[in-house]
Structure 1
């Protein structure tokens, strides 16, 4: 279905409801090629988790051609059942324009703005021109992205580039903003300033109860919701449903169950969030526990130790969640590769 530019904001208000998860690419055991069967397995798992959208992490060691193929596989397997988004994480502004146009051709629904490493972030006018270049490149919906890793405090004390966003939030295809900071003041500023024009979201689970009850936030994403649920026990989805319906006691009861996992994740995420780094193998393992394909990702990536896996699995169990079949020894290859070897 083709959506006109003028309808994009209304389309987003209708469809951006609930949670958007992250889909990481799966690779063959030698890491040389994409594992299409593994990717398709994870698309099915994502849908089973109850998300409204799948967000393809194309910045995880893929060539340009592989980024496009990853999107093609995901859109094909999703078959219109959920939205499909991705980050504009190309090596240049020109590559991001190409990615946008390819993704529109493929059938993706939206893209999240990011900044190429070679793009100077010193001047608000230059950033406005970059955003306008993306806006004019396609009719895809665009999600703005604020994170402290961009170090934009020279543009505003909060780091939120209001002098940039104020000039683009009214554009038809700019539909939402992901505010990935632990700073409540900045998150509140974003809601107060832009909630009437954009769908503001935080991917931080600790912020969900207040953001949804006080600011009527309708979506959260993109993040690894599989960290706190399984398809059979969708605690995050149930939490969001309870908060949206005003069932606060039920929501707090669900939130309280997550304590062991929050305690296990806290020290790890605290090291990563300020620098904007991502522990892909850690995220893959979280998805593996609930039935995802698993498998390691290409370097550069951090290692996940056996002790890490044991602690996370223990926290999973302590929250009353039942891990899927498959031991930690099989995680590295992934379920798809293990099945292929078994058949051979």
Structure 2
């Protein structure tokens, strides 16, 4: 159950959402027939060890709803309140997403990252509003609104979600508590306009650490997430904490230390032509820094040697600890089952 009443969601967010939220990608058994409980619990412990405030329980990896809810059960049991769990509303239809969020809420999720189904072809801002309002009405959880060039809404507005639509949804839907403002990416225009319009009403965050960390030094940003911060081990929570303490020079020294890894990360994570995040690549990034790794079901984007070499070398040039296991062991993982 949530830590707050629905009517108190924004107040809770201002008080409690302070830190960095990462992701956990579920791991399967070697025969891909079930989830791997030991691997999932390992990753939850690693999140806590590295200082993350919360984590997204990723749903875009060919899990059934039953499996996803088992994933949430194990994560909640292992976290025991030490890590806030963010439900990923990324199922096939509005009806399925409503069913999933109700179950996730009962299992201990504290927030929701709202996605839009691949078959949802919005033709107007009103279509996006109706979907969002219907979903938000069905849960007591606080919602992270996610304008990003993944949904195909650029047919409606060059930024994807029109800025006026974002304002309307925040004003009219009380359990929207944050905006993960990536509209107009790769520019920061969507973040800047959203911040100027709404930063006094809800949390506005830039989850890409390359932009988010410097921006947090010049505007109020108490929360950053969700993204593949696990690539850098504990460094992003550490740098973000320095920013919050006003130690911007110390923060920038570490920012530049990990810049070789950042460049490798940006180069590897192109979504051009797919409009889908490379979850296997993200899982490999985490494996380099101590997370479980391990197999994913098809369909999944493929991970090849050139990508793995570049990402490993990026961490090495950033003077970060990198696992010495050969890359072939990523596909087995640290806790095979």
What TM-score do you get using the length of structure 1 for normalisation? 0.91
In structure 1, the partner of 2:111 is 110
Alignment of 1:154-173 (within 5 A): 154-170=155-171, 171-173=173-175
User: How far apart are 1:154 and its partner, in Å?
Assistant: 4.1
In structure 1, the partner of 2:179 is 177
Alignment of 1:242-321 (within 5 A): 242-269=242-269, 271-272=270-271, 275-321=274-320
Determine the C-alpha separation between the residues in 2 that align with 1:145 and 1:211.
18
Is the Cα–Cα contact under 8 Å of residues 60 and 297 in structure 1 kept in the other structure?
Answer: yes
Is the Cα–Cα contact under 8 Å of residues 58 and 70 in structure 1 kept in the other structure?
Answer: no
In structure 2, the partner of 1:215 is 219
In structure 2, the partner of 1:188 is 192
SS class of match (1:146): coil
User: How far apart are 1:331 and its partner, in Å?
Assistant: 1.4
Alignment deviations for residues 156-197 of structure 1 (CA, whole Å, 9 cap, x no partner): 343233343222213331100112332122211111111111
SS class of match (1:209): helix
Is the Cα–Cα contact under 8 Å of residues 205 and 212 in structure 2 kept in the other structure?
Answer: no
For structure 1, list consecutive stretches of 5 or more residues without a partner in the other structure: none
Query: Per the alignment, do residues 120 and 194 of structure 1 end up closer, same or farther by CA in structure 2, a change over 3 Å counting?
Result: same
What TM-score do you get using the length of structure 2 for normalisation? 0.93
RMSD of aligned residue pairs (Cα, Å): 1.8
User: How far apart are 1:325 and its partner, in Å?
Assistant: 5.6
Determine the C-alpha separation between the residues in 2 that align with 1:156 and 1:215.
26
Query: Per the alignment, do residues 240 and 298 of structure 1 end up closer, same or farther by CA in structure 2, a change over 3 Å counting?
Result: same
Is the Cα–Cα contact under 8 Å of residues 27 and 40 in structure 2 kept in the other structure?
Answer: yes
In structure 2, the partner of 1:197 is 201
Is the Cα–Cα contact under 8 Å of residues 124 and 163 in structure 1 kept in the other structure?
Answer: no
User: How far apart are 1:261 and its partner, in Å?
Assistant: 0.8
Query: Per the alignment, do residues 162 and 315 of structure 1 end up closer, same or farther by CA in structure 2, a change over 3 Å counting?
Result: closer
Is the Cα–Cα contact under 8 Å of residues 32 and 296 in structure 2 kept in the other structure?
Answer: yes
Alignment of 1:63-82 (within 5 A): 63-82=64-83
Is the Cα–Cα contact under 8 Å of residues 41 and 74 in structure 2 kept in the other structure?
Answer: yes
Determine the C-alpha separation between the residues in 2 that align with 1:284 and 1:31.
16
Determine the C-alpha separation between the residues in 2 that align with 1:147 and 1:247.
30
In structure 1, the partner of 2:229 is 225
Alignment deviations for residues 226-276 of structure 1 (CA, whole Å, 9 cap, x no partner): 2123xxxx321221122222222111111110122123223222x226743
Determine the C-alpha separation between the residues in 1 that align with 2:167 and 2:259.
38
Determine the C-alpha separation between the residues in 2 that align with 1:252 and 1:280.
28
Determine the C-alpha separation between the residues in 1 that align with 2:236 and 2:232.
7
For structure 2, list consecutive stretches of 5 or more residues without a partner in the other structure: none
